[in-house]
Amino acid sequence: MFPAQALAEVMLRRGWRVKLSTDARGARYVGGFPHSVEIEQVASATFARGGVINKILVPFHVLGGVIGALIRMSRDRPDVVVGFGGYPTIPALAAAWVKRLPRMIHEQNGVLGRVNRIFSKKVDKVACGIWPTDLPEGVEGVHVGNPVRAAVLERAGAGYIPPGDYPMSVLVIGGSQGARALSDIVPPALAALPMALLKNIRVSHQAREEDGERVASYYAEHGIDADVATFFRDVPRRMSEAQLVISRAGASSVADISVIGRPSILIPYPYAAADHQTANARGLAEAGAAVVIPESELQVEMLAGHVEAILTEPQAAHQMSLAALRTGMPEAPQVLADLVEELAQKGKQT
């Protein structure tokens, strides 16, 4: 949703009218979109959730969504349709394909998701957030980077305060709903740090709802100053104030870390389709901006060692922050918007 929000913000500033088409699940995450974006809820479904009956009904839900999108597009013909992946994009992209409207997809990750892979040969442009992206044979991609929200751009390149003998911040994020592995390992790893270091640390930890209470209790019992929540609406501010970010390697998180420029320890989600989070983390790792730890190797002592190494070496931490910045593409929203306008112009000429 974040790249879609970033594109919407730019298109609105350029005078466009923007409509977001998503399903009931996606509609829960539209709070950050500008108020002038019209939210259109469509029927969609995924084979990844629910029982046997749900899986049988998936094609019917999707077909209903496509029919609904066709009816709406006949009334309000869009100049361009942009899909950002996932099952909620199927109705709009399928309807745009049927009506031969200009259309494109944006892939956040280093490996195309299932839906984007299906549509990659049925759209006019394939925009890629990570480069190189694993693309089907015969499909050409355009590297645009992953668009970040205006709130992140406001903090782009924010001055980094290297770690030292003063209050420091550690941000722990595991996607929009947190991550159990991070909730299991990060608190004891931080508690294992030398007291001289630990006394200066304040933690912002995003945890799943079912993990929040125990994570908060653990920090409190070990005297660690921590703010634990299921979702932080001010992640850009917290990230810009952090000396270290510990995170999954979701595409939006990697983009935010790169644009703001912070040292990070990345733990890719091991069950991501085609291991795309490992691909997402590769750029920061190769630049020397991040330590990447496979979840299968994640242990309390190992993580504590990496955290201590970063927070006790201010010069090295500063170099990591600069390296992260060098991988960032703050211009991504503008580049993607340029592609949209180019498609719209070609559509008017045909």
State the amino acid at position 203 in one-letter form.
V
CA angle 254, 166, 157 (to 5 degrees): 30
Predicted TM-score (pTM) of the model is 0.89
Give me the pLDDT at residue 54, please.
66
DSSP string of 169-224, one letter each residue: EEEEE-STT--HHHHHHHHHHHHTS-HHHHTTEEEEEE--HHHHHHHHHHHHHTT-
51: number of Cβ within 10 Å: 7
pLDDT in tens, 10-66: 999 999 999 999 988 788 888 889 999 999 988 765 655 566 666 666 777 788 889
Work out the burial of residue 45: count CB atoms within 10 Å of its CB; fewer than 13 is exposed, 13-18 middle, 19 or more buried: buried
Tokens 């593409």 correspond to 329
For the chain, list residues with pLDDT below 70. Answer: 44-57, 176-178
Residue whose C-alpha is closest to residue 23's, from 65, 78, 67: 65
Residue 27: predicted pLDDT: 85
Q: Kindly report, residue by residue over 261-276, the tens digit of the pLDDT.
A: 999 999 999 998 889 9
Residue 50: what pLDDT? Answer: 61
CA-wise closest residue to 112 among 93, 147, 140, 148: 140
